Chains A and B, each alone.
Chain A
Amino acid sequence: MSDRYEIALIGNPNVGKSTLFNTLTGENVYIGNWPGVTVEKKEGEFEYNGKKFKVVDLPGVYSLTANSIDEIVARDYIINEKPDLVVDIVDATALERNLYLTLQLMEMGANILLALNKMDLARTLGIDIDVDKLEKILGIRVVPISAIKKVGIEDLKKAISEEVKNKRKYNIKYPHFEPYIKKIISILQKDENLKKYNLRYLAIKLLENDKYVEDIIKKSKIWNELNPVLDSIREELSKKYGEADLGIIEERYKVIDNIVKEVVKKKSGKLTTTQMLDDVLTDEKVGILLLIPFLWMLFKFTFDVSAPFSAMIDYIFSLLGDVIKSSISNEFIASLLADGIIRGVGAVLVFFPILAFLFFAISFLEDSGYMARIPYIADRFMNKFGLPGKAIIPLVMGFGCNVPAIMATRTIENEKDRILTILINPLMSCSARLPIYALFAGAFFSAYQGLVVLSMYALGVVLALIIAKIFRKFIFKESPSYLIVELPPYQIPHLKVVLKNTWERVYDFLKKAGTIIVFGVILVWLLSVYGPSGYLGAEALTNPELLSNSWAAVIGKALAPLFAPMGWDWKACSALLFGVIAKEVVVGSLAILYGVGEENLSNIIVNAFTPVSAYAFMAFSLIYLPCIATLGVIRQEIGWKWAVFALAYEMVLAYIVALTITIIGNLIF
């Protein structure tokens, strides 16, 4: 009896299954129907090395999702009859499509042998399959054959006779789903009656909302415990994928895609531009690698190519300010117009070229088709930090300026992902903070100033990633969205579309964020030229003695006790307040408040700070309040509630980090 085995043949339609069935069984064929349905059931027999094999020809199916009678028949047979071996016939010319069924068979835990059919045709088409590698990756015996030419049939029979006894363990993982699968299995294994099934298969099918498997589990004693867990998992998956089963399908295809890339070589054939670009740009490793030059190009185009245009606007507004100051005799009105309103409008318009260049580049990438591929490439890497793949663009752009970086989050479709990406963006050290670092690093750490400056950038990145993880866990309690996107073909972008998109986005910024920035600049002007004694005069902006009587100085003095543990005086606190206009203003403000020019400032601050308090000041400058423009754009993009939240959490974080640096620094030095 031990020398009689039952094997099943399964495969996609038109894969050559019937040909193989006839080749294996010859004349010994019995035709009937599957129980309860009118689907033809073919059975046959063959002998090999004294062993008898009953061969069952299952209906041709693309998957085992049980959407059709054929699929139900095939699935029920494998689950309930448990054949000794399932011979999965795979078309070597269409490996990608055929492996989907193979993965589902592996999920079921069936004992599988893979017959790689049509190998002759594959060779003619220039397709070369590394059979050994395929065997190793899948953990399944693979036999190349050509059923129609009867090539490899003896090898297949030999393999069948060996594999019927050889139960294998498969090692295919679905990275985005493993935590859910493990959670469900841990509950399923509490019921001994379920152990006759493959628990991993049951878990996956439950995630896919499979009614057949759900009915089995509903009868089980663990159902009451499992049901709420399953509901919460499905809810989470639905938010991420629209429907949980779509996510699993996508995951299977990702696994297949990686396998195919590893084992299939195309030695000849037609190449389209989209195919050639996707062979490389959507490759899991090379795709990420090539994100670096794309980000570099985006960065350079946005900040460096646009620079003379920003300088032009800056120049025009400075000139306008000077003209107004010299032509209006009323000092108050002249200062209000020049230092308040014109400076405010200038502060808005100076972003116009940067944003126009950024959105031109982003629209260009969107219209070209590359932008749609970024989630596909970067999701896995960025998801480790609770962020979506597309967050990589705003994060890198943040090193230039947080305003365009936050605007760049518009490419992120999921609202929660977008809010999270915006909230952590100000932690990316923009170029405006560099003068502060340069001043303090030069004055206190001249031998290692490069490293000290670099440590600030590193601190910003590390904090951003940690905060992203924390917010994801406690505020945005779902994993980053994992979008199933259909990749459009690449195309040369249409200039009209790109320009239209660019204008719409820049106009939106000017209209909404612009008003807040102008208002903020005027407010800081008022705090500087007014004090408890009234109007101090426009000279207060350049005279340290007058400035020390302003409301800005009063606020600085009021804040000083709070920052006393860090060893900062009121002038440092006031300078930080001015930094709200723009971070680079901190250095100029320190120079005014200490009553020296910027060129002599290093000599003064050496006496006002210690190396530890200076480093803490640098870290605080990195993290504390976003500048007015950034705040304005946060409010514009996600509303006041989140803008205030960003403001509050950054202040608290900055204080904690600066205090920690001070305490540890003082302990060490």
Chain B
Amino acid sequence: MDIKDIKGKITTLSLIFGLLFTISGIIEITIGICSILGFEIKLPLFAGDAFGGLSLLAIGITYFLGVKKALSEDIRAVSYLFTASIVGLGIGIIAFLLLISNAMGFLLGFEDWEDWSIFSNLNVYLILGILAIIPYKIAKIIQSTT
């Protein structure tokens, strides 16, 4: 497999997912910082977790570095797409486990979960994690053809 054959695909995918993760990360960090400063901002899908936002941003940057590698025709662009997607997928798995765990707390009737609803856990981490399956699968297919 030559990078020239897959350059376009890798660049597009890395760019799209880089944007998705980076923008989500920046919004999440902004909400998190605002909440620390005493300004409550509520946005659907965002939890206001600055640490989590940084994690999304880190994954977004990794995708973008993949774009850079792809543009300079380096086969390692696939590595960046693959690794960023695997970490994104990991974040999605944690978000899913959190949903299950919170649902359990709610069903058992514990005080801390009284106000919980399934929508509070249908957040950006879960959605991006699920979406990351797409670039992960594509990177795996590319790997198997090299």
> Roughly how many angstroms separate A47 CA and B112 CA in the complex, as a whole number?
86
Interface of B is mostly: helix
Does A271 make an interface contact (CB < 8 A)?
yes
Interface residues of A in 435-465 (CB under 8 A from B): 447-451, 453-454
Q: How large is the interface on B (under 10, 10 to 19, 20 to 34, 35 or more residues)?
A: 35 or more
Q: How far is the CA of A205 from the CA of B55 in the complex (A)?
A: 43
User: Are A307 and B146 interface neighbours, CB within 8 A?
Assistant: no
Judge whether A155 is part of the interface by a CB distance below 8 angstroms. no
* Bound CA span A276–B91, Å: 19
Q: Is the CB of A268 within 8 A of B75?
A: yes
Cα-based distance from A359 to B80 in the complex (angstroms):
29
Q: Is A289 within 8 A of B58, CB to CB?
A: yes
Task: Tell whether A305 pairs with B101 under 8 Å between CB atoms, given A267-B74, A268-B75.
Answer: yes
B52 and A286 contacting across the interface, CB-CB below 8 Å: no
CA distance A463 to B87 in the complex (A): 32
* Contact residue among A266, A297, A449 (Cβ-Cβ distance under 8 Å from B74): A266
Chain A residues, CB < 8 A from B83: 276-277, 279-281, 290
Q: Which of A475-510 contact B (CB under 8 A)?
A: none
Taking the complex as formed, is A219 at the interface, i.e. its CB lies under 8 A from any CB of chain B? Answer: no
A270 at the interface (CB under 8 A from B): yes
* B102 neighbours in A (Cβ, 8 Å): 308
- Could you say which interface size class chain A belongs to? 35 or more
In the complex the two chains form, is B73's CB within 8 Å of A265's CB? yes
Contact B3 A268 (CB under 8 A): yes
Instruction: Tell me whether B74 and A311 are in contact (CB under 8 A).
Output: no
Contact A300 B98 (CB under 8 A): yes
Which residues of chain B are near A290, meaning CB under 8 Å? Answer: 58-59, 62, 83, 87
B58 pairs with A308, CB closer than 8 A: no
Report the separation of the CA atoms of residues A290 and B86 in the bound assembly, to the nearest whole angstrom.
11
Across the interface, name the chain A residue whose C-beta is closest to B101. A305
In the complex the two chains form, what is the Cα distance from A279 to B69 in whole Å? 12
Most chain B CB within 10 A, of A286, A293, A297, A448, is at A293
Q: What residues of chain B lie closer than 8 Å to A448, measured between beta carbons?
A: 38
Residue on A with the closest CB to B105? A308
Establish whether residues B38 and A447, one from each chain, have CB atoms under 8 Å apart when the complex forms: yes
B residues contacting A by CB (< 8 A) are 1-4, 35-38, 51-52, 54-56, 58-59, 61-62, 65, 69, 72-76, 78-80, 82-84, 86-87, 90-91, 94, 97-98, 101-102, 104-105, 108, 110-113, 139, 142-143, 146
Closest 9 CB pairs of A and B: A308-B105, A279-B79, A293-B55, A450-B36, A280-B83, A265-B74, A276-B79, A296-B55, A268-B2
Chain A interface residues toward B at CB < 8 A: 126, 128, 265-273, 275-277, 279-281, 286, 289-290, 292-294, 296-297, 299-301, 304-308, 311-312, 315, 447-451, 453-454
